[in-house]
Structure 1
Amino acid sequence: MPQDGNDPELNHRERATLLAVAQGGAELTCSCEPDLFVDGLACCDQTTVHRLARAGLIAPAHPGTPGGRVPAVLTDAGKRALGTLPALA
């Protein structure tokens, strides 16, 4: 997965995770390898979450305390990967 989020080849699990974040109600832990919670429940595939975070497709909405949870958001790269934001020219 490229770091710029312009990969049209997201796998099903990556796309589903991005969609869950896009729908709201997702939180990331504030850590170097963030964990994702959706509607209060831990995401069962943290490896995918770590890949999406490292690729810059999801991010915390704002800084938080180490280990705390903050809302998760799609970055512009994440929106482009889902096709909800036009590609850069």
Structure 2
Amino acid sequence: MTTTTSTILSHRDRAVLRAVAAGRCTLSTGCLLAVDGVGCCDQFVGRRLTNAGLISTGPGPARLTADGRALLEAA
């Protein structure tokens, strides 16, 4: 994780990371994110956080990566 990554995250991105950490999110094919079983209104947040290396890839439950956990702990 770089300093640049943490400065480009929006409040929504951080909220989604907290929801992922709480086990409330799933990813479908194409990185579409659902929170509590409902599609996220920001259709790009799943791909954005996956590309930043903050959440795991692939369909199923979303999980934080080591960088994602470190970012939340630092906040």
TM > 0.5 = yes
Distance 1:14-1:5 versus aligned 2 partners, 3 A rule: farther
Q: Give 2:10's aligned residue.
A: 11
Q: Secondary structure at the match of 2:23?
A: coil
Runs of 4 or more off by more than 2 Å in structure 1?
4-10
What is the number of equivalent residue pairs in this alignment? 72
Task: Return the structure number with greater strand share.
Answer: 1
Stretches of structure 1 that go unaligned for 5 or more consecutive residues are: 64-68, 85-89
Q: CA RMSD in A?
A: 1.9
TM-score with structure 1 setting the length: 0.69
| Percentage of identical aligned residues | 43
The answer for the alignment partner of 2:65 in structure 1 is 75
Report the Cα distance in structure 1 between the residues aligned to 2:2 and 2:28, rounded to whole angstroms: 21
Hey, what's the Cα distance between the residues in 2 that align with 1:35 and 1:17? 13
1 or 2, which has the higher helix percentage? 2
